[in-house]
C-alpha cells in the first residue's frame, strides 16, 4: 500500500516552514493536520506509521509555534477565530496521535516511534508555556495508548521509549498538584496510576535487557508506588520479586544497579514484604549486582542495604515460626532455606572485608564453660593463603554462615529456637553462653587438614561442591568435620537436635 499522499505532503510542507513563521494560513495548517490524523486509519505498515507519527509530531511542534506567532491583540475577528481554532486543534493533535497511531503500533519499532512522538509532543508543548495547566496533555486516550502498546514493546529500545513516555505523563500530572482541586487531582491519579497501568509497566521488566531499559523501568516503578497513594496494592509482591530477578542480570552498570536496588528497597519498605524477597534467587541476583559496583560506593551501598534488610527479614521469619510452635520439619525447611540464602549472600561480600571481620571477632578467643575444661582455639589470623584466593567464594559462605546464623537450642522444648546472636556478645564472652548445656560449640575453618581426633559427618556425594576450607565443630571432645556442601548441611541438622545452648564462634587456623 503506498504512503498516504496527505502524510508526505504534510511532512514536506512542515519541513518548508522555518522558525520565522512562513505559513500559508491557519485554515491550511489545520487542514493538513486533520488529513494526517484521518489517513492514520489507513496505515498498515511500520513505514506508514513512522511517517505519520513524524508528521503528527512535527504538526504538534509547529502548532505551538504558530499559536505563539498569531497576533494576540489584533482587532481582526478572523485572526481571533483562527487563534481559537489553533487552541482546539492542538488538543486534537495530542489526542489524535495516540488514538489513531497506537492501534497500528504492533511491532517494537512502531511502538518506539509512536512513543517518541508522544513524548516529543508532551515535552514541546509543556516547555512552550502555552498554558499553565498542561493536564489536557494527559488524557485517558494517552493512558490507554500506553497500556495498548506495552504488549508489543518486546525490545529494550521500545521498553525504554515507552516508559519514558509514561514518566513524562506522570511528571505532568504531579507538577499540577497545586493548580487544581483535590477531587480533580485524585481522579487524575486514579487514571494514571490504575491497576492496568501498573501491570503494563511491570510487564515490561522481562524485556528490559539493557542497563538503560532497566533504569527506565525501575525508575518508573519507583515513581509510581512512591508518588501515588494505594498503587502498592496493584503490585503483587511475588510479581515485583520476579521482575527484580529478571532485570538483575541486565543491570550491568552502577546506575542500573542503584536504580534497581533502590526501587526494590522502596517497595519492601512500603509494603513490609521483606520475607517475600528473602529467597535464594534474590540473594544470588544481589551477588551478581555486587560485581558492578566496584567503582561506585553509592551503588554498592544500595546493594548492601538490600542484603541487610533481606537477611534481617529472614531471621525474624524463622524465629517467628519457631515461637509459633510450627512443626519441626517446617522449621528445618526454613533453616535450610536460610542456609542457602546466607551462602548466596556471601558471594556479595568483599574478600578482604570478610577476612578482617573474622580476624576481629576471633583473634585470641577462648571458649569454655564452668565445670568443663577450658579450650583455647588458636586463631592467629583470618587470612586465607594466596593459593586459596581464587574465584570460589565457598569460604566466604562459611564465614557468613558462622557469623550471621547463630543457633540457640532450648532444652525446655523439643523444637529448636533459632536466634541470631549478637556479634559483640560473642566477642566479649569468647563465644560462650551460660545455661543447662553439655558444653560449648565452636566453629573453626582451616585450609589445612582437620585435627587428629575427628569424625566425618554426612555422606559424600559426587555431586557435592568441595569446600576450599574445612568446617570443624567442637563439642567437648568430639569434632564434627564438614568438607563439602552436603556435610555442611548435615552439621547444621546435627546441631539442631541438641537440647542445649549452642553458641557458634568462627575461627580460622593457619
Same-domain status, 316 and 440: no
Which range is most confident: 225-234, 247-256, 369-378, 448-457? 247-256
Query: For residue 308, what pLDDT is reported?
Result: 76
The answer as to whether 452 is a domain residue is yes
User: Range with the lowest mean pLDDT among 53-67, 223-237, 244-258, 358-372?
Assistant: 358-372
pLDDT band at 208 (very low <50, low <70, confident <90, very high): very high
Category of 137 on φ-ψ map: left (φ > 0), alpha (ψ -120 to 50) or beta: alpha
pLDDT at 271 over 80: yes
The answer as to whether 65 is a domain residue is no
Same-domain status, 310 and 357: no
- Which residues neighbour 378 within 8 Å (Cβ) at sequence distance 6 or greater? 507, 509
Tens-digit pLDDT profile for residues 63-93:
444 444 444 343 444 433 443 444 344 444 4
The answer as to whether 370 is a domain residue is yes
Same-domain status, 438 and 375: yes
Same-domain status, 495 and 401: yes
Same-domain status, 330 and 358: no
Query: For residue 160, what pLDDT is reported?
Result: 93
Tens-digit pLDDT profile for residues 379-410:
222 222 222 333 333 333 333 333 333 333 22
Query: For residue 363, what pLDDT is reported?
Result: 39
Query: For residue 42, what pLDDT is reported?
Result: 54
86/34: higher pLDDT: 34
The answer as to whether 309 is a domain residue is yes
pLDDT at 312 over 70: yes
The answer as to whether 440 is a domain residue is yes
For residue 440, which of 503, 492, 491, 493 has the smallest C-alpha distance? 503
Which range is most confident: 174-183, 200-209, 388-397, 427-436? 200-209
- Which residues neighbour 9 within 8 Å (Cβ) at sequence distance 6 or greater? 32
pLDDT at 14 over 90: no
For residue 393, which of 359, 345, 448, 449 has the smallest C-alpha distance? 345
pLDDT band at 107 (very low <50, low <70, confident <90, very high): confident
Q: Residue 382's domain spans which residues? A: 350-509
Same-domain status, 256 and 286: yes
Query: For residue 54, what pLDDT is reported?
Result: 57
What spatial distance separates the first Cα and last Cα of the chain, rounded to whole Å?
Answer: 78
Query: For residue 307, what pLDDT is reported?
Result: 78
Round the average pLDDT of the chain to a whole number and report it: 59
Query: For residue 152, what pLDDT is reported?
Result: 87
Cα 418 to Cα 74, 177, 316, 407: the distances in Å are 83, 50, 9, 5
User: Range with the lowest mean pLDDT among 82-91, 347-356, 430-439?
Assistant: 430-439
To the nearest whole percent, how much of the chain has pLDDT over 90?
9
Instruction: Give CA–CA dist 367/505, Å, rounded.
Output: 9
Same-domain status, 409 and 488: yes
Same-domain status, 364 and 305: no
C-alpha cell at 505: 564462634
User: Range with the lowest mean pLDDT among 138-142, 235-239, 486-490?
Assistant: 486-490
The answer as to whether 486 is a domain residue is yes
pLDDT at 484 over 50: yes
pLDDT at 483 over 50: yes
pLDDT at 284 over 50: yes
Kindly write down the DSSP assignment for every residue of 450-462, as one continuous string: PPSS-EE-S---T
The answer as to whether 102 is a domain residue is no
Query: For residue 339, what pLDDT is reported?
Result: 57
Q: Tell me if residue 16 falls in helix, strand or coil.
A: helix
Report the pLDDT averaged over residues 95-101.
59
Query: For residue 123, what pLDDT is reported?
Result: 76
Report the pLDDT averaged over residues 135-160.
85
Query: For residue 285, what pLDDT is reported?
Result: 85
Same-domain status, 369 and 501: yes
pLDDT at 440 over 70: no
From 291, 315, 348, the end of a domain falls on: 348
Query: For residue 156, what pLDDT is reported?
Result: 92
Report the pLDDT averaged over residues 209-227.
91
Query: For residue 32, what pLDDT is reported?
Result: 53
C-alpha cell at 250: 541486565
The answer as to whether 294 is a domain residue is yes
How many structural domains is the chain composed of? 2
For residue 307, which of 294, 320, 288 has the smallest C-alpha distance? 288
437/52: higher pLDDT: 52
339/290: higher pLDDT: 290
To the nearest whole percent, how much of the chain has pLDDT over 70?
36
pLDDT band at 322 (very low <50, low <70, confident <90, very high): low
Same-domain status, 340 and 356: no
Report the pLDDT averaged over residues 408-434.
31
Tens-digit pLDDT profile for residues 451-471:
333 333 333 333 455 544 444
127/405: higher pLDDT: 127
pLDDT at 260 over 90: yes
- State pTM to two decimals: 0.57
> What DSSP element (H or E) covers 332?
helix 328-345
pLDDT band at 177 (very low <50, low <70, confident <90, very high): low
Same-domain status, 419 and 308: no
From 308, 328, 348, the end of a domain falls on: 348
Same-domain status, 444 and 365: yes
Query: For residue 487, what pLDDT is reported?
Result: 63
From 348, 376, 395, the end of a domain falls on: 348
Amino acid at each position: 500500500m503506498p504512503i498516504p499522499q496527505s502524510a508526505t505532503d504534510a511532512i514536506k510542507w512542515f519541513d518548508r516552514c522555518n522558525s520565522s513563521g512562513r505559513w500559508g494560513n491557519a485554515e491550511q495548517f489545520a487542514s493538513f493536520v486533520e488529513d494526517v490524523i484521518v489517513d492514520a486509519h489507513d496505515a498498515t505498515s511500520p513505514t506508514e506509521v513512522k511517517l505519520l507519527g513524524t508528521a503528527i509530531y512535527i504538526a504538534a511542534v509547529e502548532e505551538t509555534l504558530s499559536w505563539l506567532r498569531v497576533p494576540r491583540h489584533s482587532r481582526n475577528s478572523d485572526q481571533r477565530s483562527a487563534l481559537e481554532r489553533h487552541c482546539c486543534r492542538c488538543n486534537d493533535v495530542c489526542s489524535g496521535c495516540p488514538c489513531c497511531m497506537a492501534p497500528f503500533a504492533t511491532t517494537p519499532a512502531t511502538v518506539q516511534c509512536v512513543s517518541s512522538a508522544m513524548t516529543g509532543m508532551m515535552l514541546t508543548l509543556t516547555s512552550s508555556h502555552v498554558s499553565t495547566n498542561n493536564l489536557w496533555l494527559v488524557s485517558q486516550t494517552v493512558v490507554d495508548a500506553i497500556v495498548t502498546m506495552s504488549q508489543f514493546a518486546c525490545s529494550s529500545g521500545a521498553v525504554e521509549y515507552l516508559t519514558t513516555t509514561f514518566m513524562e505523563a506522570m511528571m505532568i500530572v504531579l507538577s499540577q498538584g497545586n493548580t487544581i482541586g483535590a477531587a480533580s487531582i485524585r481522579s487524575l491519579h486514579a487514571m494514571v496510576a490504575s491497576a492496568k497501568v501498573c501491570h503494563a509497566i511491570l510487564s515490561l521488566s522481562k524485556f528490559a535487557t539493557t542497563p538503560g531499559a532497566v533504569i527506565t523501568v525501575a525508575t518508573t516503578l519507583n515513581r509510581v508506588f512512591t508518588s501515588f497513594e494505594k498503587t502498592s496494592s496493584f503490585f503483587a509482591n511475588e510479581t515485583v520479586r520476579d521482575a527484580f530477578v529478571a532485570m538483575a542480570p541486565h543491570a550491568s552498570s552502577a546506575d542500573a544497579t542503584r536504580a534497581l536496588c533502590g526501587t526494590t528497597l522502596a517497595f519492601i519498605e512500603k509494603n513490609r514484604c521483606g520475607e517475600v524477597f528473602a529467597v535464594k534467587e534474590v540473594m544470588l541476583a544481589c551477588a551478581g549486582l555486587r560485581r558492578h559496583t566496584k567503582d561506585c560506593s553509592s551503588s554498592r551501598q544500595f546493594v548492601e542495604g538490600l542484603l541487610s534488610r533481606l537477611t534481617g527479614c529472614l531471621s525474624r521469619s524463622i524465629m517467628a515460626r519457631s515461637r509459633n510452635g510450627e512443626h519441626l520439619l517446617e522449621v528445618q525447611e526454613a533453616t535450610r532455606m536460610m542456609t542457602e540464602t546466607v551462602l548466596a549472600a556471601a558471594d556479595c561480600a568483599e574478600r578482604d572485608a570478610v577476612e578482617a571481620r573474622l580476624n576481629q571477632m576471633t583473634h585470641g578467643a577462648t571458649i569454655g564453660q564452668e565445670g568443663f575444661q577450658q579450650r583455647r582455639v588458636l586463631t592467629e589470623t583470618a587470612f586465607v593463603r594466596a593459593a586459596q584466593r581464587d574465584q570460589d567464594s565457598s569460604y566466604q559462605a562459611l564465614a557468613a554462615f558462622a557469623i550471621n546464623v547463630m543457633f540457640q537450642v532450648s532444652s525446655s522444648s523439643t523444637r529448636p529456637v533459632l536466634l541470631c546472636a549478637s556479634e559483640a556478645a560473642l566477642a566479649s564472652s569468647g563465644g560462650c553462653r551460660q545455661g543447662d548445656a553439655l558444653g560449648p560449640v565452636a566453629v573453626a575453618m582451616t585450609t589445612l587438614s582437620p585435627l587428629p581426633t575427628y569424625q566425618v559427618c554426612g555422606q559424600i556425594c559426587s555431586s557435592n561442591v568441595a569446600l576450599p576450607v574445612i568446617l570443624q565443630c567442637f563439642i567437648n571432645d568430639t569434632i564434627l568435620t564438614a568438607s563439602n556442601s552436603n556435610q555442611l548441611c548435615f552439621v547444621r541438622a546435627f546441631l539442631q537436635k541438641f537440647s542445649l545452648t549452642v553458641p557458634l564462634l568462627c575461627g580460622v587456623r593457619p
